[in-house]
Structure 1
Amino acid sequence: MTTDDQHIEELETQATAEDELRRKAITRLRKRADFRTHVFIYVLVNSLLVVVWAVTGAPFFWPIFPILGWGVGLAANAWDVYRPDPVTEERVQREMGRLRP
């Protein structure tokens, strides 16, 4: 392989790594935007349910069920978006080492 071929291969590798990084960044930004939308709808809908409860004068606070149930889903979504330890190549290699007999 000539020096020019090696240089071209290095540039292609850098471009591929840069493209992958860009793809990951876009995915992360989309997840965060989707999460903000999810929180907004959660607050809006559950606020409406609390208003309905207050207007009807029901003695039991029944909106607690959708608030808690949906809240579990919202917490799972938050964990997916903001978890502190994404999967890295180092972690993959370490796990592969554990799986080897």
Structure 2
Amino acid sequence: MRSTKSEAAKKWDLRVHLLFYVVANLAQVITWWLYTPEQFFWPMWSLVFWGIGAAFHVWTVYSPPKSRAVL
């Protein structure tokens, strides 16, 4: 399947994704720290699993394109 987005659009989408990742997870960590610092660090789940998704997004944007074999 061929992507119709330009490289600049893909990089912009990645930047927006990473910005939301940082802001949302920072808000969760601050909430945890203000209200339940003595309890389990529950923001870990979002940091880890959303982080995996963000890592795959970085990988897809910056990995070299696959060459297609011409028969």
- Deviations, residues 33-87 of structure 1 (Å, cap 9, x unaligned): 000010001000000000000011242111000110100110111111001x212
Q: Does residue 1:61 correspond to 2:41, yes or no?
A: yes
The number of residues matched between the two structures is 67
SS at match of 1:45: helix
The 2-side partners of 1:66 and 1:37 are apart by: 17
The 1-side partners of 2:56 and 2:19 are apart by: 16
Matched residue, 1:43: 22
TM-score normalised by length of structure 2: 0.83
The 1-side partners of 2:46 and 2:53 are apart by: 11
Q: Does residue 1:82 correspond to 2:62, yes or no?
A: yes
Structure 1: segments with no counterpart, 5+ residues: 1-23, 97-101
Which is greater in Rg? 1
Q: Structure 1: which 4+ aligned runs deviate by more than 2 Å?
A: none
Matched residue, 1:7: none
Q: Which has the higher helix share?
A: 1
Identity of aligned residues (%): 31
The alignment's C-alpha RMSD in Å is: 1.7
TM-score normalised by length of structure 1: 0.60
The 1-side partners of 2:56 and 2:66 are apart by: 17
SS at match of 2:42: coil
Matched residue, 2:31: 52
